[in-house]
């Protein structure tokens, strides 16, 4: 949190809470079963970091619009009267399918609550986040199956084995709210339901056994099933290229621009970075290589 210390150095604050909420590399699976929409989280070790404290000066720190909404809905929900000052820093790119807004919103909501002497459960965080926009659920610990549209927490699926994701971006941005308002989504989600059911069954077994081949295969199945909703012309080539380099599967942002190769070690990272431009030209850009994260949202108090 060194960056946060630099930003708010010199302000008069008696106690502050620093909240870190993880982002994502897309989703392991996304679709519907029996008409129930859901995603399976793919949390990574990149965060939105919110620092909040009871306001004692007239100084105000600017926040992105959705973070401002997070402050407002939290204060209204908890009936907080006192002014709370908040600083937000994110390691996540917007509009890419990295759960940047969900991480921002959840971090700010919890930080505001803590600074006011209150707390929020995971279910309360989910409800507040969904009052602003469709939400990921990477703030839950472990890997969870979650209704990202209605906010129903469906079930925990376990913890991810130690693994890494090499993340690429195809460029551009996708607005989550606009994407989920598409009129054709209902029929297209229904059309891929059988594939999603098979992928989810395989993923649950893979997580239970710590089997990276099954986990990677399940994620890849969901990525291919999503081609009828958000086509990626390069997907088959990325899948084949990744397998040749020892990757366990392909992960995509089902409503975003990022995708990734699931790795159990980083021995081939240099080969991946060097070979990307040769294999995919300007189609894909290397963004990051990150560890999959099981810890959920967490905070520290500083005084």
Q: Give the pLDDT of residue 3.
A: 34
Q: Give the pLDDT of residue 189.
A: 85
* Percent of residues, the chain, with pLDDT higher than 90: 82
Cα–Cα distance between 101 and 97 in angstroms, integer? Answer: 9
Cα–Cα distance between 303 and 292 in angstroms, integer? Answer: 31
Q: Give the pLDDT of residue 46.
A: 98
Q: What is the pLDDT of residues 19-41, one digit of tens each?
A: 999 999 999 999 999 988 999 99
Q: Give the pLDDT of residue 7.
A: 37
Q: Give the pLDDT of residue 13.
A: 57
Q: Does 2 have pLDDT greater than 80?
A: no
Decide if 146 contacts 153 (C-beta within 8 A).
yes
Q: Give the pLDDT of residue 14.
A: 62
Mean pLDDT of 4-30: 74
Cα–Cα distance between 144 and 155 in angstroms, integer? Answer: 6
Cα–Cα distance between 78 and 74 in angstroms, integer? Answer: 6
Q: Does 176 have pLDDT greater than 80?
A: no
Decide if 119 contacts 84 (C-beta within 8 A).
no
Cα–Cα distance between 236 and 241 in angstroms, integer? Answer: 8
Average pLDDT score, the chain: 92
Q: Does 107 have pLDDT greater than 90?
A: yes
* Percent of residues, the chain, with pLDDT higher than 70: 95
Least confident of 59-68, 118-127, 246-255: 59-68
Task: Judge residue 117's burial from the number of C-beta atoms within 10 Å of its C-beta, 0-12 exposed, 13-18 middle, 19 or more buried.
Answer: exposed
Q: Give the pLDDT of residue 283.
A: 96
| 3-class DSSP state of 172 | coil
Q: What is the pLDDT of residues 193-250, one digit of tens each?
A: 999 999 999 999 999 999 999 999 999 999 999 999 999 999 999 999 999 999 999 9
Q: Give the pLDDT of residue 40.
A: 97
| 3-class DSSP state of 57 | coil
Decide if 297 contacts 107 (C-beta within 8 A).
yes
Least confident of 46-50, 190-194, 250-254: 190-194
Cα–Cα distance between 102 and 84 in angstroms, integer? Answer: 20
Rounded (5°) CA angle 294-117-73: 75
Q: Give the pLDDT of residue 116.
A: 95
Q: Give the pLDDT of residue 290.
A: 97
Decide if 290 contacts 164 (C-beta within 8 A).
yes
Mean pLDDT of 259-265: 96
- Do β-strands 143-146 and 36-54 pair in parallel, antiparallel, or remain unpaired? antiparallel
């Amino acid at each position: 949190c060194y960056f946060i210390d630099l930003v708010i150095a010199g302000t008069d604050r008696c106690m502050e809470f620093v909240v870190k909420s993880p982002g994502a590399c897309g989703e392991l699976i996304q679709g519907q079963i029996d008409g129930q929409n859901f995603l399976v989280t793919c949390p990574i070790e990149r965060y939105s970091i919110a620092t909040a404290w009871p306001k004692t000066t007239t100084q105000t720190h600017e926040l992105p619009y959705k973070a401002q909404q997070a402050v407002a809905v939290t204060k209204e929900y908890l009936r907080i009267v006192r002014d709370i000052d908040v600083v937000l820093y994110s390691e996540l790119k917007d509009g890419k399918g990295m759960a940047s807004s969900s991480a921002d919103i959840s971090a700010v909501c919890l930080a505001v609550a803590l600074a006011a002497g209150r707390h929020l459960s995971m279910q309360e965080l989910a409800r507040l986040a969904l009052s602003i926009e469709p939400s990921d659920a990477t703030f839950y610990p472990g890997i969870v199956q979650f209704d990202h549209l209605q906010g129903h927490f469906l079930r925990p699926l376990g913890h991810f084995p130690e693994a890494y994701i090499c993340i690429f971006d195809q460029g551009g941005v996708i607005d989550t709210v606009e994407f989920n308002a598409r009129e054709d989504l209902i029929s297209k989600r229904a059309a891929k339901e059988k594939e999603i059911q098979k992928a989810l069954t395989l993923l649950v077994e893979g997580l239970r056994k710590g089997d990276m081949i099954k986990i990677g295969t399940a994620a890849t199945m969901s990525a291919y099933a999503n081609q009828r909703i958000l086509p990626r012309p390069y997907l088959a080539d990325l899948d084949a290229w990744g397998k040749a380099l020892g990757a366990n599967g392909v992960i995509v942002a089902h409503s975003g621009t990022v995708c990734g190769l699931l790795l159990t070690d980083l021995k081939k990272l240099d080969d991946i970075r060097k070979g990307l431009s040769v294999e995919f030209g300007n189609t894909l850009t290397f963004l990051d290589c990150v560890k999959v994260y099981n810890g959920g949202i967490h905070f520290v108090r500083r005084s």
